[in-house]
Amino acid sequence: MKYVIVGGSAAGPKTASKIRRLDQHSQVTIIQKGKYLSMASCGYPYFVGGTFDDPNALISTPTGVPRDSSYFSKVKDIDARVETEAIAIDRENKKQTIKNLTTGEEETISYDKLVLTTGASPIRPPIEGIDLQGVQHLHSMEDAIALKKVAKDPSAKVVIVGGGLIGIETCEALQLAGLDITLVEMQNQILPFLDWEMAKLVQNYMELKGINFKMGAALKRFIGEGGKLNSVELNNGEIIPCTHALFSIGVRPNVALAAKAGLKLGDFRGIQVNRFMQTSDPDIYAAGDCVEITNLITKNKQPWPMGDAANLQGRVVAQNVVLGNIEEYEGMVGTGICKVFDFNAGSTGLSEKMAREEGYNNVLTSIHAAPDKPGFMGALPMVIKLLADKSTGRFLGLQAVGLGDVSKRVAIAAMALHGRMSIADMVNLDLPYAPPFSSAIDNLITAVHVLENKWRGLMTGISAIELKERLDKGEKPFILDVRGRGEFEAMRLGIGETLIPLGQIRQREEELPKDKTTEIITYCKISLRGYEAACCLKAKGYSNVKVLEGGILAWPFKREKRFTHSLYWWIMKPPVD
Amino acid sequence: MKYVIVGGSAAGPKTASKIRRLDQHSQVTIIQKGKYLSMASCGYPYFVGGTFDDPNALISTPTGVPRDSSYFSKVKDIDARVETEAIAIDRENKKQTIKNLTTGEEETISYDKLVLTTGASPIRPPIEGIDLQGVQHLHSMEDAIALKKVAKDPSAKVVIVGGGLIGIETCEALQLAGLDITLVEMQNQILPFLDWEMAKLVQNYMELKGINFKMGAALKRFIGEGGKLNSVELNNGEIIPCTHALFSIGVRPNVALAAKAGLKLGDFRGIQVNRFMQTSDPDIYAAGDCVEITNLITKNKQPWPMGDAANLQGRVVAQNVVLGNIEEYEGMVGTGICKVFDFNAGSTGLSEKMAREEGYNNVLTSIHAAPDKPGFMGALPMVIKLLADKSTGRFLGLQAVGLGDVSKRVAIAAMALHGRMSIADMVNLDLPYAPPFSSAIDNLITAVHVLENKWRGLMTGISAIELKERLDKGEKPFILDVRGRGEFEAMRLGIGETLIPLGQIRQREEELPKDKTTEIITYCKISLRGYEAACCLKAKGYSNVKVLEGGILAWPFKREKRFTHSLYWWIMKPPVD
């Protein structure tokens, strides 16, 4: 059997290696346009930021084995053709034409099964000045090496265009290197997989770390002199001087080869594949950033340019081409995560915004803030937002941001989505508990409890966004902060709140509204004491009490004294009375 | 409504607090025999070890609220009776008799719903000398305070009897305090939730850290002079001098009150409850260490004395007594975890040993060793053992040990068990991937891939235990270590292996057995290169090639040069050629 794989980043090498393991007697050829094969491209920001300095560390080979393409021939007996381009597919005769980019020679090789793992390319609109020296992407090893040079120049001023995963991770990398960074984002939020109020918490933290943001700002042009970038201009006319710009507004599937060969494309111009990762030609499979896969929540097809999915798909394709469609790739639930400084932000499933766009109109949400383990074990805080279908209780998604162990909670929630669980299935989870790892009731489970309480009508919450909108309209609910005096002096919302510490509420009733139908909104740092206070007020006959969900920790808007007590705020030991 | 809760550690306070939040106008009384209420008793080892020094940190109240039982009355309006014992239940008249342990006064209070959260007590067999001064448990706050005093005396020599969770966590605590520690365990392994070879990896690591072990050794008696412990004697006659002994061989449900009242008990003498946590008397509920709950894998009932389960059950009971059996507690999947030094050990579901005991006779296992994230991000290693039902592919359990992020992988596997997933459901999981958190294919997913490969017959593995047994019988398979020379010199198994680095196998065929039907066993540090080598040998026509599962990292037996290169071994950067 002759297997030809086109593309050598993630899905391609995985497919080739797995084919070889399954079939030792076949001929396996992998075609790679660039110089490098099997790069861990998700590691580029960490290479740029100096977590490690040897670019070879990004090339995936087993320990002790030389990290170059000769590994593929020597160890795996795979014919690895680097700096070679796949030009055209002759489907009728099952032949692939390739071109050696060094010599210019063309060659035609025949295949029994062809696998397209052609990846994706950065979106590059025809903006004035985009070809200036100093404007670059972070998509290839060459890009990473160039950007690492920039990071070593402390006088560099960098504008990052696009607040997605790559943009945000690169912000961290370059800021840690001591550079002056401005992030320009056309939308009103960074990290589109999060809802606005969750993304804003990440942005607030990044601002504290010194990143400048230009939000809702479209890039008009790159400005240069002598072919070299010296500033960018925004649509509002603002000019930001800079020495370098990173352009990272997303990627598009590379489908030219597939399209030319007449393979079917999907609605987003990714290659169409069935559940065996087989294209419209049964002898051609495809995997990775160039295909469209199924979102298991919405059942829609979409591109999903993620390194983990590419690797998993590669393994599926290899089994199917060698053993004959024995493995299905069902799809993804939509999981993503990133680290930015010591802050983590992740999500899985649908955000509220996505749910709305997908036409879910009966969605229940909750926002919960809590430490990730007991205070005595050095807890770190986290804000979790959950989504469920109000009519069925089916769990739809989680977002989590904060200093705590976000990755574990996102993983747990992703499993709940894979298992098609409902709120009821998640209230009594048997998770690994010991004080070094979590609280007795994990904060994720507590978040589910809050969601269940809201679902059952046992708790009435109000989101920060709703409260802020109503305050901006001039409404005046009675707002009750129930923290200690010391905490209040260190930081407060400054939205007209009254302070009565939780332990004093039963004794200081005269400070509460006389009219028991007055709307009262209670909160504390994370709204645990706020919830206790709400229960207590209801017992006193107040009929319209709401808890500000997630408390001050989840408040995405300006706070009083914020900048003097900024980072303290994200640790879990506030001053007490 | 009058609610009386008997027991004030975990399930009791949770039940009382939740009842109060659900019903502000009821009368809630909580009866606690000891002085403290709502203690995070799982934190005792960390208090003893000095992670924190204020015992009040273990008492769970919201930030800024005084940590004593007055919190319950002042803030929650709960009548908290500490140092009070529940004497007898008059079920017919729905009355609970209690006794104030300070004054000796008895009182009878009536209830509409009674909740028993009487906990468990340490098993205390009538061993000679068990009442000597210096012999203690670690079950109450008083125990913890006493043991912390011991930890401050560097001349103390402590024998810990019992290698369960508490014993192991206390080992760490006291060893970090600089004490001389010997652990005595009657079984041939510590941590009974693990299989032998996984527990042995933990034990090996603890030995490297300086803990002494007496395995398979029953305690005969405690020996003392003048009422004070000075040594322990084992059944084999060995005498271990010591100043203190911690006796932690397990707990038994406290059911005297329930039994006297005629409530039904289960096979393990825990209180029987239905899925609403209701006892055989519909007006009496029970939760926590004193009840038996359902194991969702085996469907058997068993006690499950875990702090997280107790809290979750408390919440279920509160809802059911107030709102009328609206919440079910389905059961647990059997999840546990502990940290010992910088090593983590956890499990969920069935171990191979448990599966055998439960009569599963068609179980597939795999052992997989791998780093928990990319090497360039500071990966830490972990060994994962998986279990599945061979006929259905249903996933049955995971065990994980190592320096890496075990907690996340155990949590993911626990969710797979809650979701009743099969191997096929787990091969393409969409988990949160970014280099700071995991490899592109998470090591748990890779472990599932190995299991699937074995299930499909695509890979033949051999476990360390099987290989060792066969070597001990005098069998002589050809054993092939495929690491680099430098790694081999630093540490090796020393079981008659031949070294041929992976990259040289294709060139050094003459060193392999001439007879291609010879059994060949390949491995490397984690058996990734070992697997590549096996594939390569099969291609050369060798028909009986097996991979040593988990490689050297998962080898629980003695290794050559082990003690000179001990800790290095658990980091992921071996020397290379």
DSSP string, A441-475: S-HHHHHHHHHHHHHTTS--EE-HHHHHHHHHTT-
In terms of domains, do A351 and A417 share one? yes
In terms of domains, do A157 and A229 share one? yes
Please report the DSSP string for A488-505 in residue order.
Answer: HHH-B--SS-EE--GGGT
Shortest Cα distance, chain B CAs vs residue A44, angstroms: 10
- In A, which residues are within 8 Å of B529 by CB distance? 62-65
Tokens representing residue B356 in the block: 């055998």
Answer whether B301's CB lies under 8 Å from B93's CB: no
Cα nearest neighbour of A430 on chain B:
B332
In terms of domains, do A258 and A297 share one? yes
At residue A416, what is the residue type?
A
Return the number of CB contacts < 8 Å for A and B: 310
Edge-to-edge strands, sheet with B498-499: B461-462, B545-548, B520-523, B478-481, B498-499
**Domain boundary pick from A455, A478, A504:** A455
In terms of domains, do B231 and B291 share one? no
Burial call B362-373: b when 16+ CB within 10 Å, e when fewer? ebbbbbbbbbbb
DSSP A272: P
Q: What share of chain A is helix, strand, coil (3-state, %, to 5)?
A: 30, 25, 45
* B419/A420 Cβ within 8 A: yes
Answer whether A51's CB lies under 8 Å from A58's CB: no
Please enumerate in sequence order all residues whose Cβ is within 8 A of that of B46, keeping only pairs 6 or more positions apart, or say none.
Answer: A376, A377, A435, A436, B52, B169, B173
pLDDT band at B562 (very low <50, low <70, confident <90, very high): low
Listed range (A161-175, B26-40, B99-113, B291-305) with the worst mean pLDDT: B26-40
Q: Is residue B395 a part of any domain in this protein?
A: yes
pLDDT reported for residue A58 = 85
Residue B42 annotated among the catalytic residues of the structure: yes
Shortest Cα distance, chain B CAs vs residue A430, angstroms: 6
- In A, which residues are within 8 Å of B48 by CB distance? none
Torsion of CA B133, B135, B140, B141, to 10 degrees: 60
Q: Is residue B426 a part of any domain in this protein?
A: yes
Tokens representing residue B381 in the block: 């290693």
> Structural domain tally of chain A?
4
Of residues A20, A308, A456, nearest to B440 (C-beta): A308
Residue numbers of chain A with a pLDDT score lower than 70: 60-69, 561-577
Please report the DSSP string for B109-137 in residue order.
Answer: EE-SEEEE---EEE-----BTTTSBTEE-
CA A478, A483, A488, A492 torsion-angle sign: negative
Of residues A21, A375, A427, nearest to B57 (C-beta): A375
Of residues A327, A415, A441, nearest to B308 (C-beta): A441
pLDDT reported for residue B576 = 39
B502 contact A CB<8A: yes
A66 contact B CB<8A: yes
Q: Which of B415, B506, B522, B542 is the best residue to mutate to test the A interface, defined by the most A CB atoms within 10 Å of its own CB?
A: B415
- In A, which residues are within 8 Å of B65 by CB distance? 502-503, 529
- In A, which residues are within 8 Å of B445 by CB distance? 312
Token pair 């084992």: residue: B234
Chain center to CA of B481? 33
Q: Is residue A129 a part of any domain in this protein?
A: no
Burial class (CB in 10 A: 0-12, 13-18, 19+), A27: middle
In terms of domains, do A275 and A179 share one? no
pLDDT reported for residue A573 = 46
In terms of domains, do B351 and B448 share one? yes
Query: CA nearest A275: which of A307, A255, A299?
Result: A299
CB atoms within 10 A of CB B426: 25
Chain center to CA of B399? 10
pLDDT reported for residue A55 = 87
pLDDT reported for residue A559 = 84
pLDDT reported for residue A564 = 46
pLDDT tens profile B437-472: 999 999 999 999 999 999 998 889 999 999 999 999
**Reported pTM:** 0.96
Query: CA nearest B74: which of B83, B87, B61?
Result: B61
* B75/A536 Cβ within 8 A: yes
**Domain boundary pick from B209, B225, B249:** B249
pLDDT reported for residue B283 = 98
Cα nearest neighbour of A14 on chain B:
B441
Please enumerate in sequence order all residues whose Cβ is within 8 A of that of B299, keeping only pairs 6 or more positions apart, or say none.
Answer: none
Q: Is residue A472 a part of any domain in this protein?
A: yes
Tell me the C-alpha distance between A414 and A409, whole Å.
9
Cα nearest neighbour of A531 on chain B:
B21
Query: CA nearest B386: which of B460, B443, B466?
Result: B443
- In B, which residues are within 8 Å of A425 by CB distance? 418-419
A341 contact B CB<8A: no
Q: Is residue B58 a part of any domain in this protein?
A: no
Q: Is residue A411 a part of any domain in this protein?
A: yes
Tokens representing residue A553 in the block: 């920790």
In terms of domains, do B169 and B241 share one? yes
In terms of domains, do B345 and B433 share one? yes
pLDDT tens profile A469-508: 999 999 999 999 999 888 888 788 999 999 999 888 888 9
pLDDT band at B24 (very low <50, low <70, confident <90, very high): confident
Helix/strand/coil for B7 = coil
pLDDT reported for residue B515 = 96
In terms of domains, do A223 and A279 share one? no
Q: Give Dmax (Cα) for chain A.
A: 89
Residues pairing with B388 in the sheet: B364, B395
Shortest Cα distance, chain B CAs vs residue A565, angstroms: 18
Q: Is residue A64 a part of any domain in this protein?
A: no
Shortest Cα distance, chain B CAs vs residue A230, angstroms: 33
A-facing residues of B in 286-315 (CB < 8 A) are 306-313, 315
- In B, which residues are within 8 Å of A71 by CB distance? 503
**Domain boundary pick from B194, B217, B249:** B249
Shortest Cα distance, chain A CAs vs residue B434, angstroms: 6
| Range(s) of the domain holding residue B205 | 135-249
Tell me the C-alpha distance between B287 and B277, whole Å.
7
pLDDT reported for residue A59 = 80
pLDDT reported for residue A68 = 62
pLDDT reported for residue B486 = 82
Of residues B62, B411, B532, nearest to A75 (C-beta): B532
pLDDT reported for residue A433 = 97
In terms of domains, do B436 and B514 share one? no
pLDDT tens profile B259-276: 999 999 999 999 999 999
CATH of the domain at B547: 3.40.250.10
Of residues B20, B47, B428, nearest to A312 (C-beta): B428
Cα nearest neighbour of B572 on chain A:
A63
* B76/A42 Cβ within 8 A: no
pLDDT band at B360 (very low <50, low <70, confident <90, very high): very high
DSSP A556: -
Burial call B194-217: b when 16+ CB within 10 Å, e when fewer? bbbbbbbbbbbbbebbebebbeeb
B-facing residues of A in 165-184 (CB < 8 A) are 165, 169
Q: What percent of chain B has pLDDT over 90?
A: 81
Q: Which of A41, A44, A63 is the best residue to mutate to test the B interface, defined by the most B CB atoms within 10 Å of its own CB?
A: A63
Q: Is the pLDDT of residue B574 over 50?
A: no
pLDDT reported for residue A575 = 39
- In B, which residues are within 8 Å of A76 by CB distance? 532
In terms of domains, do B340 and B451 share one? yes
**Parallel/antiparallel/unpaired status of strands A336-340 and A106-110:** unpaired
- In B, which residues are within 8 Å of A20 by CB distance? 535
CATH of the domain at A378: 3.50.50.60
Shortest Cα distance, chain B CAs vs residue A311, angstroms: 7
A46 contact B CB<8A: yes
B-facing residues of A in 429-488 (CB < 8 A) are 429-438, 440-442, 445, 449, 456, 458, 483-484, 487
Query: CA nearest A167: which of A48, A280, A56, A249?
Result: A249
Tell me the C-alpha distance between B281 and B263, whole Å.
7
Q: Is residue B127 a part of any domain in this protein?
A: no
Shortest Cα distance, chain A CAs vs residue B422, angstroms: 10
In terms of domains, do B497 and B560 share one? yes
A-facing residues of B in 97-156 (CB < 8 A) are none
Burial class (CB in 10 A: 0-12, 13-18, 19+), B565: middle
Residue B17, CA distances (Å) to A299, A509, B8 in order: 42, 22, 11
Tell me the C-alpha distance between B191 and B163, whole Å.
6
Of residues B428, B528, B535, nearest to A329 (C-beta): B428
pLDDT reported for residue B69 = 61
The chain-wide mean pLDDT, for chain B, equals 92
Element (H, E) at A368: strand A363-371
Helix/strand/coil for A263 = coil
